[in-house]
Amino acid sequence: MNILYTASEAVPYAASGGLADVAGSLPAAINAQGHDCRVVIPYYSQIRQELKDQLSYYTNFTVPVAWRNQYCGVFIGVVNGVTYYLLDNEYYFQRNGLYGFYDDAERFIFFSRAVLELLHYIDFRPDIINANDWQTALVPVYFDIFYRYQQGYEDIKTVFTIHNIQYQGQYGLELINDIMGIPLYHTDLLSYDGDVNFMKAAIETADRVTTVSPSYAWEILDPWYSHGMDRELVHKQYKLSGILNGISMQIYDPSTDKAIPKNYSLNDKLGKQVCKKRLLDEMEMAGGKEPVIGIVTRFVSHKGLDLIKYVFEDILRAGYKFVILGSGEKIYEDFFSEMHYRYPDRVGLTLGFVPDLSRRIYAGADMFLMPSQSEPCGLAQMIALRYGTIPIVRETGGLRDTIHDAGDKCGNGFTFKSYNAHDMLDACIRARAYYDNRMKWGALVNTALKQDFSWTNSAKQYISLYEDIR
């Protein structure tokens, strides 16, 4: 089976979040099971030069963007056995950043149309096209309107994957004719609440809609989580399903990770204590027997930081230390900076994102705190488990699907249900009680190190979905 996987970013070429990890890992896992999955992304100017040097120019063509035609160059690269097509247009993608520009709508309208035009020029005929998030949401829309009955496009099926429903691609209705080049009689297909909504149109036209965890698939039918899209999804839930993301078990491997001070494994865990001591030294915090909570996150409200802020000092009084890495909204940066200033021996803080430091926190912390208000899937809790660090999470989205409370005798972390600071505090206190019982804690760390969140199982589910719609 041939699959064309299209996204606005993919590791190793361009990344700003979890979508890049998925687009850089899932296709390789699908290919390992005997299929041919290829990836299409934009050719961004900030791709590292050593990666650009490994690309080869293939061809170029023009892409219709409403009443005008725009140049599109095609470069090809191969990473981990996966073929990547990078679509080049300097006007749209020679920018300092991936997103956040005044013409983002036009940039990804061009890209979505270019993905479909590409099939005229390459020796690859997909059975499935899998688009991801609002930036490529118009791929199934354009396919349905313009390409479905063209020669060479027969029998192609489309899948649309929602990674975060908050970002839907909402713009003014004037885009339909002037930028999208779609006849006005399709306005009902594209409009939602008085605007053009890319995601809504993809949900309407794709053969199947997926999201990144089973729990998130039913949560987004609820107005609390859906950011207004629940009305559309309730009508289309017959085509909606959730498939849990995975992580790379090779990239995140404490037995081989060169970013951590000492490697360790299930059979030899002594290195984890070394990692903890070195982490505290790096943060200029006194060592000791107290448990260390790690936090690696964007400082935004939906990550549950207001809960942490409300009972932060209560958690410190319960005997914890914190090591925190992240940046974002100023209110949270200021709060954590103040806590670091007031408790320098108990709170370590680095503002920004330092990839190697994040690995050292995963390896050196005892627990990892994720009290998210919403979490489509979440990768950090899986990475924490991979490093034998016990997650403390709120039961939402992918956190509910991956973390089960240790109180049930076979759990792998500590959970709380309601979005309440004192419920989170209670989970931290229960985790501390486990930590103080060295036999229980050792068994829990063993359970964490045995977890398998590789892409293999996720790939099998995607393949089953693709085969079903064929």
Domains of the chain (ranges; CATH) run 2-246+456-469 (3.40.50.2000), 270-452 (3.40.50.2000)
Asked if pLDDT for residue 17 goes beyond 90, the answer is no
Residue 344 backbone phi and psi in degrees, to 5: -65, -25
Would you state the pLDDT for residue 18?
A: 83
- The C-alpha atoms of residue 398 and residue 389 are separated, in whole angstroms, by 18
Q: Which residues contact 215 (CB under 8 A, 6 or more apart)?
A: 242, 396, 397, 398, 400, 401
Average pLDDT, the chain: 95
Q: Is the peptide bond before 254 cis (omega within 30 degrees of 0)?
A: no
Task: Please state the rounded mean pLDDT for residues 217-237.
Answer: 95
Distance of alpha carbon 290 from the chain centroid: 32
Would you state the pLDDT for residue 353?
A: 86
Percentage with pLDDT > 90 across the chain: 93
Distance of alpha carbon 392 from the chain centroid: 19
Which H, E and C letters describe the chain, residue by residue? CEEEEECCCECCCECCCHHHHHHHHHHHHHHCCCCEEEEEEECCCCCCHHHHCCCEEEEEEEEEECCEEEEEEEEEEEECCEEEEEEECHHHHCCCCCCCCCCHHHHHHHHHHHHHHHCCCCCCCCCEEEEECHHHCHHHHHHHHHHCCCCCCCCCEEEEEECCCCCCCEECCCHHHHCCCCCHHHHHHHEECCEEEHHHHHHHHCCEEEECCHHHHHHCCCHHHHCCCHHHHHHCHHHEEECCCCCCCCCCCCCCCCCCCCCCECCECHHHHHHHHHHHHHCCCCCCCCCEEEEEEEECHHHCHHHHHHHHHHHHHCCCEEEEEEEECHHHHHHHHHHHHHCCCCEEEEECCCHHHHHHHHHHCCEEEECCCCCCCCCHHHHHHHCCCEEEEECCHHHHHHCCEHHHCCCCEEEECCCCHHHHHHHHHHHHHHHHCHHHHHHHHHHHHCCCCCHHHHHHHHHHHHHHHC
pLDDT band at 66 (very low <50, low <70, confident <90, very high): confident
Would you state the pLDDT for residue 288?
A: 80
**Residue whose entry in the numeric block shows the structure tokens 């020796």:** 123
- The C-alpha atoms of residue 339 and residue 352 are separated, in whole angstroms, by 17
Asked if pLDDT for residue 177 goes beyond 90, the answer is no
Would you state the pLDDT for residue 165?
A: 95
pLDDT band at 424 (very low <50, low <70, confident <90, very high): very high
446 CB-side CA count, 13 A? 9
Q: CB neighbours (10 Å) of residue 60?
A: 14
**Residue whose entry in the numeric block shows the structure tokens 């036009």:** 106
pTM to 2 decimals?
0.92
pLDDT tens-place string over residues 397-406: 999 999 999 9
Q: Which residues contact 217 (CB under 8 A, 6 or more apart)?
A: 210, 211, 240, 241, 242
pLDDT tens-place string over residues 441-451: 999 999 999 99
Burial of 355 (0-12, 13-18, 19+ CB in 10 A): exposed
